[in-house]
Each structure stands twice: as structure tokens, then as C-alpha cells.
Chain A
Amino acid sequence: MSRVAWQLATVKAIKPETPRVKTFTLALPNWTPQLAGQHYDLRLTADGGYQAERSYSIASPPEQTGEIELTVELVNEGEVSGYLFEGVAVGDQLEVRGPIGGYFVWRGEPSAPPLLLVGGGSGVVPLMAMLRHRRALGLRTPAVLLFSVRSPEEVIYQAELEALAQADDSFTLLLDYTRQAPPGWAGYHRRLDAAMLAEVVARFGAAQPQAFVCGPTGFVESVANGLQAAGLPPEMILTERFGPTRG
């Protein structure tokens, strides 16, 4: 059977992450191990045959066998995300195919360079898969996650990220609140800019990190430019962008 054939997954769990983000755990009849950073396509079919498809990054690591977690943001007027939020319950079936994508991936090789992960909003999802894979492998590859959100209620995976930062001193979590920060916040509280990126790159010292950047188009464009200005060569910067209309 073709590895990217459509299959009928069963919704095993639905977890709210933020007011506009939910994680769907899908049990797959034909699960194959994915690479951290890959995605699945999801297809909805209406009576009459109309179909709508979207791609969603996998949040779970390949060590979580037989199932995948897809973390989905509710998009305004979103045809697919709207149905997933309102019309899908545990036990329902959904058509998916994957894993897909061979470029924006982190393989977790022990000799890999340090990791600089930069996520905007739900762009953190494939980066979380990399951090979960790293944790599952027991790797101490130095890793920094610079995670840009507008306000405190938008921090996806907050408890897990903070616990990971507590337990693993080779991992650093840097939150950037672009609009509203929590009371007493001493960290970044402005739109992500070139000076911030230069500070973060400087944390790695002489070691050149591999950067993974994921978020909305404008965010990725400015981060990729800023990382180059901070001295990272283009081949050390991998990007994944999604447009504002992704529904």
C-alpha cells in the first residue's frame, strides 16, 4: 500500500490548548513513523462529494506509536478548522494521509548542531514535535525556543514547555509577548526584531545553530532576514510559512 494513501483515523482525544487552539489525537490504522516537523493532510467530505483539504503539522513525536496529534488553530471563517472545532467528537472518524514533507524536519542525530527554534503562534506545533522527539531520545543537544505570541492566553503547550525548561538545563524557553504580557513579566515584550534575534543567536557562542522558523508569512520573512543579519548562513535557516487564509 502506498505510504501516503488516505486512511480513516479515529479521534481518540480532543484537548483544548488555548481558546482558539485544540489538539486532536488520531488513532491510525496504518501508522508509519514520521520525522519531527512533518505534516498530515486532512480531508473533509460533504454529502454530495464536496471536499476540503488542509495540511496540519504533527505535534507528537515518532515515539508515540500508532497515533498522531494534530494541533489545529481555529481560523476565522475556517471551513476545515471550524468543522473540527464544532463538528468533531471523540470516536468520530477523519480521513488523513501522511506523513508528508522531507525538508522542515529534525532527525535527532546526536551529532546535530544546536537547535534554534523560532515559532509564531501556532507555528510552534512542528517545533514542539522536535522538542518532544529530542526529549524522548534523551538528547542534550542545546536547544532554544523563541516563541512569539500576542498575549498570555495564546501560549500553546505552556505547562509542558515550562516543565521541560525546568527539568532540562540544555533547553531554554524564551517567550515573547508582542501585545499583552503577564503581570510582572521581565522577558521580551515587543514585536520580534533583529536585535532580539541577534541576542538569541549570541547565546550559542561560537557554535552555529540550525534554525527552524515557522509561523505566518510576514513573521517568517522577518525572522529569516533577522537571523541572516545576525550572522547565520541561509543554509542553516529552514522555514515553514502559512498564509493568513489557511482555513
Chain B
Amino acid sequence: MFLSQPFLSLSHPVLMGIFTNRGFQPKRPTNPKLPPGQYETTDFPVLTAGPTPRIALTNWEFRLEGLVEEPVKWSWEEFNKLPMQDFNPDIHCVTKWSKFDTHWRGVSVDTLLEHVKLRPEAQFVTEFSYGGYTTNLPLADLLGGKAFVGLQFEGQPLAPEHGGPARLVVPHLYFWKSAKWIQGLRFTAQDEPGFWERGGYSMYGDPWKEQRYRDDDDDQASPSSLRL
């Protein structure tokens, strides 16, 4: 006689969430700065879906548009006259690498927003880039010193493969929310999925909750069109 059905047993590793790989030992030191499922790298890997766009600074502009009373735009020269700050964030890529204590110089989104009056229904933002990339996030995640437009990385102009001449950096979210080759911010009333989000990646992307994919999001209610 069987004492339990294996597939109903509460000690089943999947049901208990305690499956372990026999003999697997960490090779890397654990670090409280490392979100779940991430590992530290000292390189700066590149994740992009296509070729790196080359953007001439004479044609570059940065725009704030959408649900604002008056859209605003800056040329490269004008943008570089805005007040700059230093930022030293840890960054976390959804492809599992994290990089600690990076050094950036750029313009806080708070500074940019002093130049527009947002309409009250503006609750979300679509970041849009040269080359057509977009990504979405709540407006609140860009405010209060949480996000900046980075122009310099480790004391040098930001390299094209890392998003130069300018990249939006939102370090508390997975790094795909930090759009390379940023062209502007569009303020929206609804959370409109961007490039990777339409392909099934998380709408929010909190590395500490390991929100890599749409099914990892808090609401879990993912329409089938957003499934992978």
C-alpha cells in the first residue's frame, strides 16, 4: 500500500518551492546589493535588438510631449546648458547581469520637468528613441531624483553602443527601461506597452521583485496578446 501519491505529496519539490540542484555551490560571493537571479559583472555588456544608430549631434533634439500644456524641445547645445548632476547608480539588466557603482553625469528628469506643465491626467510615460525603440513606465518612477538623462559615463561621452549621445537612466528598474538613444518623453494617461513590453516583458520591471516577464507582474492579468 502506498502512503502517499507522489503527485499529491506536499513534499513534492515544485509544490514546496525548494527544488535544489544536487552538488550546486555558489561560485560567486553573495552580495545584498544583488537582486534575485542576478550576478555581478565589471564589464558593460550591450543588449540591443538591432544595429546601433549613429546620431549626428547637429540633428539631435530632446522633446517633452503628450499630455503637457506646451511641448518643449532642446537642441544638443541647449540641452548641455541645463544644470548637470553626478549619479552613481547600481544597474540591473534583465539578461541577469548587474553592475555596481557606475558613474554618470547628466540632467535629472526633475530638472527637465521644470520646463513643462503636465496635465493632471498624465500618469504614465513612453520613452522614445532614435531608431524607434520605446519603453513605458509610471510617471512617478521618473520623479524625485529617480531618473536622469545621462550624457557622460565614467568621465567620457556616452558611447553609441551604450546609448550615446544620451540615454535615459532609471536605475531602480531593469535596464531596458533606461532607453538608449533617447529622443524624448511622451506623457500618457494609460500605461502603453513599449517595444519589449509588447513582446511579453514586464510592464514595470522591478529587479527586486524579479519582474522580468509580463507573468511576473503584480496584477498577473495579462491579455493573451501580451503573452510571449
Contacts and interface: CB of A to CB of B under 8 A. Distances in A.
B187 interface: no
29 contacts: A4-B228, A44-B21, A45-B18, A46-B24, A46-B26, A50-B26, A50-B30, A51-B37, A55-B96, A79-B28, A83-B24, A99-B228, A100-B213, A100-B228, A102-B198, A224-B51, A227-B51, A234-B131, A237-B50, A238-B49, A241-B47, A242-B95, A243-B41, A243-B43, A243-B46, A244-B43, A245-B39, A246-B95, A246-B97
A120 B228 CA distance: 26
A245 B21 contact: no
B89 interface: no
A77 B39 CA distance: 13
Chain A, interface SS category: mixed
Interface in A135-179: none
B212 to A, nearest CB: 8
B137 to A, nearest CB: 20
Interface in A63-84: 77, 79, 82-83
Interface stretch (A87-95, A110-118, A183-191, A197-205): A87-95
B88 interface: no
Contacts of A92: 21-22
A239 interface: yes
Interface of B: 13-14, 18-28, 30, 36-37, 39, 41-43, 45-53, 95-97, 131, 161, 195-196, 198-200, 212-213, 215-216, 220, 227-228
Q: Pick the 6 closest A-B CB pairs, nearest first.
A: A243-B45, A102-B199, A224-B51, A53-B37, A2-B215, A79-B27
Contacts of A104: 49
Contacts of B212: 41
Contact of A237 (B20, B51, B95, B97): B51
A55 B95 contact: yes
Given A4-B228, A46-B25, A53-B96, A239 B51 contact: yes
Interface of A: 2-8, 38, 41, 43-47, 50-55, 77, 79, 82-83, 87, 92-95, 98-104, 217, 220-221, 224-225, 227-228, 234-235, 237-239, 241-247
Nearest to A93: B19
Contact of B51 (A47, A225, A243, A247): A225
Nearest to B49: A103
Contact of A54 (B28, B48, B96, B199): B96
Contacts of A6: 14
A2 B21 CA distance: 23
Nearest to B28: A79
B45 A242 contact: yes
Contact of B50 (A45, A50, A87, A239): A239
Given A52-B39, A239-B48, 6 more contacts: A46-B20, A83-B23, A221-B46, A243-B95, A244-B45, A246-B95
A241 B22 CA distance: 31
A203 B228 CA distance: 34
Contacts of A102: 198-200, 228
Contact of A87 (B21, B41, B42, B97): B21
Nearest to B48: A239
Contacts of A238: 49-50
A59 to B, nearest CB: 18
B19 A79 contact: no
A228 to B, nearest CB: 6
B180 to A, nearest CB: 13
Contacts of A53: 37, 96
Contacts of A224: 50-52
A41 B216 CA distance: 14
A235 B27 contact: no
B50 A4 contact: no
A45 B14 contact: no
A92 to B, nearest CB: 8
B45 A245 contact: yes
B228 A101 contact: yes
A153 to B, nearest CB: 26
Given A51-B36, A55-B95, A4 B14 contact: no
Contacts of A93: 19
Nearest to B195: A103
